[in-house]
Amino acid sequence: MTIDELLAQAKTHSLNADEQPTLIIPKEWGQGRTVFGGLSAAMVYAAIKIQVDDDRVMRSFNCNFVGPLLVDKEFEIVVEILRQGKNASQALGRIVQDGKTCVSCQVCFGVARKSKVVVKNNDNHMLEMPKKGSFLPQIPKITPKFLRYYDLSFMAGRMPFTGSKKSEINGWMRFKKPPAEITDAHLISLIDAWPPSVLQMLRLPAPASTMSWNVEFIHPHQDFSPADWFAFKVLTRQAADGYAHTEGNVWDQSGELIAISRQTVGIFD
């Protein structure tokens, strides 16, 4: 199934929960026995957004991966609109499987308003545009299955489990097969496709899991082409006691900053 098909199912489920009580994500979107976190988060967002007024765009997205969401197993998305104010809306969405919450997301939407406060972003990535992806090919039982849907191109940093002394990653990302359009839901899944930046520091394979994830979205008022590359630079702010705290910026193909991403990652080495 394509990401467009899965996002469409999440929207339909959100509007017609009685008619479509459960959802299933196939193993092709797996990361081990669990669903790729970027996809599950994107589906929760899609289910929330369909219930929010169109004049409100996402300003912040907070996601907690509470427990494993299993592939090829039924689940439901529960949406609660916490508040619809004059300028902002707050909503909560949860994925529930076997009666347990697996993913919980809170999203803040806000209308655009005139303001005298304008501070332009001056960060830039200075990364050369890639010609093709340069990540690992599909290797059975080694490469996560979901990566077949994404092109990742490393510019700085190393592959996971290569014993690097660095903990930053710079690169580009896009969908391997362009979707019909690029929405905020698509961007959520795309940003999460990268491995945690600290995994390159390990010499042997070890599990790691994103525990909490915050994305602040900036909207430069332009459309994206489905085939566009997006630049990504992430650094590890601190890591100790089995947890790492990372922070990254995302730019569109024209060099506009579009998102700021922060994660807390659990490392089980």
CA nearest to 37, candidates 196, 240, 201: 196
Domain co-membership, 221 together with 263: yes
- Quote the number of domains for the chain: 2
Please check the confidence at residue 159 and state whether its pLDDT lies above 90.
no
CATH number for position 58: 3.10.129.10
Domain co-membership, 258 together with 143: yes
Task: Report which residue type is found at 74.
Answer: E
Boundary (domain end) residue, out of 83, 117, 151: 117
> 104 lies in which domain range?
1-117
Domain co-membership, 84 together with 125: no
Domain co-membership, 52 together with 167: no
Taking only the tens place, the pLDDT of each residue in 232-268 is 999 999 999 999 999 999 999 999 999 999 999 999 9
How far apart, in Å, are the Cα atoms of 229 and each of 96, 226, 232? 33, 9, 10
Task: Report which residue type is found at 203.
Answer: R
Domain co-membership, 98 together with 132: no
Please check the confidence at residue 135 and state whether its pLDDT lies above 70.
no
Region 88-96: mean pLDDT is 97
* Angle between helix 184-191 and 3-15 (nearest 10): 120
Please state, rounded to an integer, the average pLDDT across all residues of the chain.
Answer: 91
Structure tokens at 74: 């039924």
Domain co-membership, 187 together with 217: yes
Neighbouring C-beta atoms of residue 203, cutoff 10 Å: 10
What global pTM score does this model have? 0.93
Region 157-176: mean pLDDT is 92
Give the pLDDT band (50/70/90) at residue 20.
low
Domain co-membership, 75 together with 152: no
Boundary (domain end) residue, out of 73, 92, 117: 117
Give the pLDDT band (50/70/90) at residue 2.
very high
Number of residues in the chain: 269
